[in-house]
């Protein structure tokens, strides 16, 4: 029986409200420097982080295992408040300005990480087979079509426990209005996971049902749904290493309590360990 190595990471965005960045201009001062966020993750027991070009990130930081491009970076607060299109071609919002620096700075960080050979998570099939394609309705592909693409191109996948079972979101419809009223092409999440699990290298772990606050009150027990999706990957993936990334949105309560943010990250790691050991 093959030995499957499972490593645990966390998104830097989930940790953004740990500490404050002294001397930085607003809104960067709301968050600790990326190096501190990474060190906090390591201290909590994670082996590394999944990065995003947040304010202060250069791309030269150590212990970055994976990275994604910026959400929808904007040039200014004015652009965000007016909901002008951001770098991803979507109507922007205040969070796009708060979390990300300018599109140019985001691109510089992404380029730095790419040049270092760090694996990038992308949201469509492209010409770089070293990219991991995250499975979501926005691919506009059935599980069978995704599996065929992986066989043809050599791409590997990210299974997100939320994205694999949801429908189209408003911004995905804004980009392609023809999606209005259509169900997700992925279909039922268990079936999709069963078909795609051989090509999965990474799992994005999110509480599917409750909010993060409710998740805390439920003693951080990941639901049976998450376990079943992960079990398909553990049983069928052809990879020897599976990276599980805690990826949950920081909540308003975290902004008020860095200690609470650390506690949630620590308990999320504990929950993932329990899920693997069951």
Exposed/middle/buried for 113, CB within 10 Å: 0-12, 13-18, 19+? buried
Kindly state whether residue 157 falls inside one of the protein's structural domains.
yes
Kindly state whether residue 79 falls inside one of the protein's structural domains.
no
| Crossing angle between the packed helical segments 258-277 and 34-44, to the nearest 10 degrees | 40
Domain of residue 66: give its range.
5-19+31-70+118-277
1: pLDDT confidence band, cut at 50, 70 and 90? very low
Kindly state whether residue 44 falls inside one of the protein's structural domains.
yes
Token readout for 162 is 């939320």
Kindly state whether residue 131 falls inside one of the protein's structural domains.
yes
Phi, psi (5° rounding) for residue 59? 90, -5
CA distances from 233 to 129, 135, 157, 192, 198 (A): 20, 13, 11, 11, 7
Is the pLDDT at 73 greater than 70? The verdict is: yes
Domain count, the chain: 1
pLDDT in tens, 200-240: 999 999 865 556 556 556 555 566 778 889 999 999 999 99
In the beta sheet, which residues pair with residue 132?
121, 156
Cβ atoms of residues 202 and 6 within 8 Å: no
Residue 4 neighbours by CB under 8 Å, 6+ apart:
234, 237, 240, 241, 242
Select the more confidently predicted residue: 49 or 31.
49
Is the pLDDT at 45 greater than 60? The verdict is: yes
pLDDT at 223: 64
Residue 151 neighbours by CB under 8 Å, 6+ apart:
none
pLDDT in tens, 86-134: 888 888 888 889 889 999 999 999 999 999 999 999 999 999 999 999 9
CATH number at residue 246: 3.20.20
Select the more confidently predicted residue: 153 or 18.
153
Kindly state whether residue 106 falls inside one of the protein's structural domains.
no
Kindly state whether residue 113 falls inside one of the protein's structural domains.
no
Kindly state whether residue 45 falls inside one of the protein's structural domains.
yes
Token readout for 196 is 């795609």
CA distances from 135 to 55, 70, 106, 122, 258 (A): 27, 18, 23, 9, 32
Exposed/middle/buried for 177, CB within 10 Å: 0-12, 13-18, 19+? exposed
């Amino acid at each position: 029986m093959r030995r499957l190595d499972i490593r645990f990471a966390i998104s830097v965005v989930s940790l953004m409200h740990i500490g404050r960045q002294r001397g930085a201009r607003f809104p960067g001062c709301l968050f600790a420097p990326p190096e501190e966020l990474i060190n906090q993750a390591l201290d909590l027991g994670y082996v590394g982080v999944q990065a995003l070009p947040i304010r202060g990130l250069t791309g030269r930081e150590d212990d970055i295992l994976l990275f994604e491009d910026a959400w929808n970076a904007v040039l200014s607060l004015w652009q965000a408040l007016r909901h002008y299109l951001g770098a991803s071609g979507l109507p922007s919002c205040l969070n796009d300005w708060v979390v990300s620096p300018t599109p140019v700075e985001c691109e510089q960080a992404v380029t730095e990480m790419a040049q270092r050979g760090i694996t990038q998570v992308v949201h469509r099939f492209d010409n770089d087979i070293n990219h991991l394609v995250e499975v979501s309705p926005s691919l506009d592909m059935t599980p069978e079509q995704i599996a065929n693409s992986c066989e043809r191109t050599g791409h590997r996948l990210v299974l997100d426990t939320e994205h694999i079972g949801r429908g189209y979101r408003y911004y995905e419809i804004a980009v392609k209005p023809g999606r209005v009223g259509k169900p997700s092409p992925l279909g039922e999440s268990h079936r999709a996971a069963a078909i795609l699990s051989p090509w999965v290298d990474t799992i994005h772990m999110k509480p599917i049902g409750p909010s993060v606050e409710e998740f805390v009150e439920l003693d951080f027990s990941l639901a049976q749904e998450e376990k079943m999706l992960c079990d398909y990957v553990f049983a069928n993936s052809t990879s020897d290493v599976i990276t599980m990334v805690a990826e949950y949105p920081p909540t308003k309560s975290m902004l008020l309590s860095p200690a609470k943010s650390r506690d949630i990250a620590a308990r999320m790691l504990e929950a993932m360990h329990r899920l693997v050991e069951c």
